């Protein structure tokens, strides 16, 4: 199994990162992608990926941190992206729900990161919340210049899912789908996602699956719970979990590891 979204730099993992990674590997999660959400944490994620086996990272600036983006950021990101552990640009995109950075700053940073990904021939690891139309408008001109793209932690509508799939995007599904309160709509549209466009993630330490049994003592999510997400998604899609594991692992390999090394 490959967890495409783990926020290993979170302070919630500060005291026991080694144990978290060990538990994930013991649970059969043999690939982990550490999410970079700003330049500082992207550098931390790269260093941690270097430290652990079968771990890689992304490098980018999250929409919440887009107000920090400037010309120097672009050069720092290029340098970081050339490290062998870094396999995607991101987390980048738009989040008009909270607007911790202005929409204008978000759009500037997103467009700049799409350009860098195209320049370096790297896939993008993206975020979109309450910004679907503008997100696609900014993304569309770059799609034929990018080797691939995933919209991580997808929680949108069926129409939004179809828009993304029509553009060849991968969709990342988290434990949100296990939430009997908020995840039912996402559960209903699982069947429209072609298996070859599906990726799985925990987004740990966030989005602990609510249907774990027995319930963990802590509300912190961990990558060792990815097998539970796989089992549930496979059941709701009417597919064999071992088959779906093989397919989603192949998807992750195709998206993140099938590009030439950047010059």
Residue with tokens 């050339």: 82
Bond prior to 91 in cis (omega within 30° of 0): yes
Backbone conformation region of residue 188, classed left if phi is above 0, alpha if psi is from -120 to 50, else beta: alpha
Taking the chain, what is the end-to-end CA distance rounded to the nearest angstrom? 30
Q: Is 152 annotated as a binding residue?
A: yes
Q: Retrieve residue 77's tokens.
A: 């990101």
Q: Are the C-beta atoms of 58 and 86 separated by less than 8 Å?
A: yes
CB atoms within 10 A of CB 260: 7
The answer to whether the annotation marks 62 as part of a ligand binding site is: no
The helix/strand/coil state of 188 is: helix
Do 130 and 160 meet the contact criterion of CB atoms below 8 Å apart? no
- Is 91 marked as a binding-site residue? yes
Known binding residues for a divalent metal cation are 91, 127, 152
* Binding-site entries: 91, 127, 152
């Amino acid at each position: 199994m490959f967890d495409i979204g783990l926020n290993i730099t979170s302070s919630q993992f500060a005291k026991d990162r080694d144990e978290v990674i060990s538990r994930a590997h013991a649970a059969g999660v043999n690939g982990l992608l550490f999410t970079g959400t700003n330049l500082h944490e992207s550098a931390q994620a790269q260093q941690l990926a270097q430290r652990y086996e079968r771990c890689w990272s992304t490098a980018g600036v999250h929409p919440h941190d887009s107000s920090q983006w400037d010309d120097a950021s672009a050069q720092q990101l290029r340098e970081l992206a050339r490290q062998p552990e870094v396999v995607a640009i991101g987390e980048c995109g738009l989040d008009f729900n909270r607007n911790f950075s202005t929409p204008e700053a978000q759009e500037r940073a997103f467009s700049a990161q799409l350009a860098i990904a195209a320049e370096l021939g790297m896939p993008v690891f993206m975020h979109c919340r309450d910004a679907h139309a503008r997100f696609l408008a900014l993304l569309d001109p770059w799609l034929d210049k990018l080797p691939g793209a995933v919209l991580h932690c997808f929680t949108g509508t069926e129409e939004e899912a179809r828009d993304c799939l029509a553009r060849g995007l991968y969709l990342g599904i988290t434990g949100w789908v296990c939430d009997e309160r908020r995840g039912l709509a996402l559960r209903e549209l699982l069947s429209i996602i072609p298996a070859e466009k599906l990726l799985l993630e925990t987004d740990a330490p966030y989005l602990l699956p609510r249907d774990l049994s027995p319930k963990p003592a802590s509300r912190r999510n961990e990558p060792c719970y990815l097998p539970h997400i796989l089992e549930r998604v496979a059941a709701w899609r009417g597919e064999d979990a071992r088959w779906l594991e093989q397919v989603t692992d192949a998807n992750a390999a195709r998206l993140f590891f099938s590009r030439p090394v950047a010059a």
